Amino acid sequence: MTLSLEKIINQKIALCFQNLGFDTKLAFVKPSDRPDLSDFQCNGALALAKSQHKNPREIATNIAGELSKDPDFTKVSVDGPGFINLSLSDEFISRVLCAMAGDPRLGCEKVDQPKKIILDSGGPNVAKALHVGHLRSAVIGESIRRIEKFVGNDIISDVHFGDYGTPMGMILSEIMLQDGNLSKTNTYNIEQISDFYKRANARCKENDAEKEKASQITAELQNGNQEYYKAWQHLRKVSVDAVKKNYDILGAHFDLWLGESDAHNASLEVIKIAKDKHISEIDDGATIIRLEESNKPKPPVILLKSNGGIGYQVTDIATIKMRVDDLKAEEIIYVVDKRQSLHFEQVFEAAEKLGLAPNTKLIHIGFGTVNGADGKPFKTRDGGVMKLEDLIEMSKDKVRESMPEAKDLEGFASIDEAQKYIDTMVEDIAVAAIKFQDLKNNIASGYVFEIDDFAKFEGKTGPYIQYAVARINSIMRKAQAAGIKAGDIIITNREERELALKIAQINQIIMRTHEEKEPSIISDYAYTLAQAFSSFYNASPIMSAEKPELAASRLRLAVLTRDALKLLLDLLGIKAPEVMLKK
């Protein structure tokens, strides 16, 4: 039995359509375009007009006549060419909200047919500190992972570490250039390894011979050179440990920490399959797969370079094979910069040609860039790429401006203990601010990172939603101290009704976010829900309510709002502190 208000209404509409002999596929409602006139509207009559060979308004009038018999609708009217407007009774809304309050999932449903989904996000590379460009992949990916899990899908997240390509050959080449050999490799930390990479990268950009040398070392590593492999093991471990530290702060969870290297054997299998199926060919010493060029030029996929090294795209193709063969993936989602669109078009088409994933849906969710005030990708003051850890520290510094000092906090055994509490809260709020700033924007669009505005406690920000939760927690504590308990919902004014209807949208919002893979839908809803609660609370006092049952009803609405906001924040990967400190 569904607890979703919209679905219950759809069931009523479907029964009405069935009784009138109409196609029930058109029996659904949406929130009204004119909330001043009605709560919901059904546009099915317009679509029925053609098949029924009747005027849509006539069909709508017949439907409205049937629905008017249901006491859960206080008003059913027909507007325009055949829009059916539905106004709900307060008792109906209250009944559904009370049922939602008794459900741990707040009436939110799960998908009818759960899928095995592999989520590929993150994509860090060895020896490179995570930068602002990695932010969206991790933040969006984590939110999608949580949403898919919540709706019932079996989802596995994989960071897909870039650890077996040319950058590794460049680092090895640089270490040998500096030290003469690789004997000291195991002594280097992430800062030193990153420095080797920067110098190697600069050298390879200026000198094609050095670039070719790095490419050759990479090919030898991939083909089993033990000296290179031993050094590679240390370089990879140090890089992974450094990356995990930043992802832990962001709360980005990965079930698998596989990389390009883990797909090496599968890459060799892919190359063999392409040869056996006569899909590949030799071109200028390289082994390639040519792709269709119907609408635009599309470069071929390079399976093997002329020096024997494995092509960049092959590991992604091989990883698809592994995810289908080993993990039984029914859907693979890639959360990667939209500038990589062509790469994924090539990879998906090659996988299709090779027959590697015939029943698996491959999806690339391409995101826009994080930009500075100049509209260009966000950088440091000296023009360098902004490190993710530096961005987090900037955010913490901004949040600290609104925090009280440890010496001013009461109830702690020492100032150190109070400071530790503040520091934890600063990190929770700073990360929430970063994540919400990102997730409130449409994925495909780039956005400007507003350091001066994103951490404010008002406006469409993460801290504003967190503060709404903390505010309701405070109300609940005061109500408990006054002996007020949450009771049945009674709607007595406009603000109560609007809040109740807003809360009732949660199932549709989450399911729509899941279907569109667009967390900004949840972000926008969480913000408007917090706003609706603020309007409700200003007009509907709990502690000074005229009657005990009214106080109990309003407290129930407050608790429901708190629970809904906590769920929504969790689906965005954001913590909801019990209290929020402010100067």
Per residue in 54-84, pLDDT (tens digit) is 999 999 999 999 999 999 999 999 999 999 9
Which residue carries 């063999």 as its tokens? 272
Contact assessment for residue 8 and residue 2, using Cβ atoms and an 8 Å cutoff: yes
Residue 336 main-chain phi, psi, to 5 deg: -140, 145
Packing angle, helices 208-222 and 190-206, rounded to 10: 130
Rounded CA-CA distance 85/44 in Å is 11
- For residue 277, give both structure tokens: 């199926």
Higher pLDDT, 52 or 489: 489
Query: Confidence band (pLDDT; 50, 70, 90) for 383?
Result: low
Rounded CA-CA distance 250/427 in Å is 10
Average pLDDT over residues 562-572: 98
Higher pLDDT, 232 or 294: 232
Instruction: Evaluate if residue 451 carries a pLDDT over 80.
Output: no
Instruction: Evaluate if residue 378 carries a pLDDT over 80.
Output: no
Q: What is the pLDDT of residue 146?
A: 98
Query: Average pLDDT over the chain, rounded to whole?
Result: 93
Q: If phi over 0 gives left and psi between -120 and 50 gives alpha, with beta otherwise, what is residue 106? A: left
Instruction: Evaluate if residue 131 carries a pLDDT over 90.
Output: no
Rounded CA-CA distance 340/511 in Å is 28
Non-local CB neighbours of 105 within 8 Å, separated by 6+ positions: none
Q: What is the pLDDT of residue 246?
A: 86
Q: What is the pLDDT of residue 479?
A: 97
Q: What is the pLDDT of residue 452?
A: 76
Instruction: Evaluate if residue 145 carries a pLDDT over 90.
Output: yes
Average pLDDT over residues 409-436: 93
Q: Could you read off the pLDDT of 510-531 as tens digits, one per residue?
A: 999 999 999 999 999 999 999 9
Query: Confidence band (pLDDT; 50, 70, 90) for 380?
Result: low
Q: Could you read off the pLDDT of 168-189 as tens digits, one per residue?
A: 999 999 999 999 999 999 999 9
Identify the CA nearest to 460 among candidates 481, 488, 487, 432.
432
Rounded CA-CA distance 7/28 in Å is 8
Q: What is the pLDDT of residue 165?
A: 85
Q: What is the pLDDT of residue 101?
A: 95
Instruction: Evaluate if residue 381 carries a pLDDT over 80.
Output: no
- For residue 131, give both structure tokens: 């930068």
CB atoms under 10 Å from CB of 286, counted, come to 18
Q: Could you read off the pLDDT of 547-558 as tens digits, one per residue?
A: 999 999 999 999
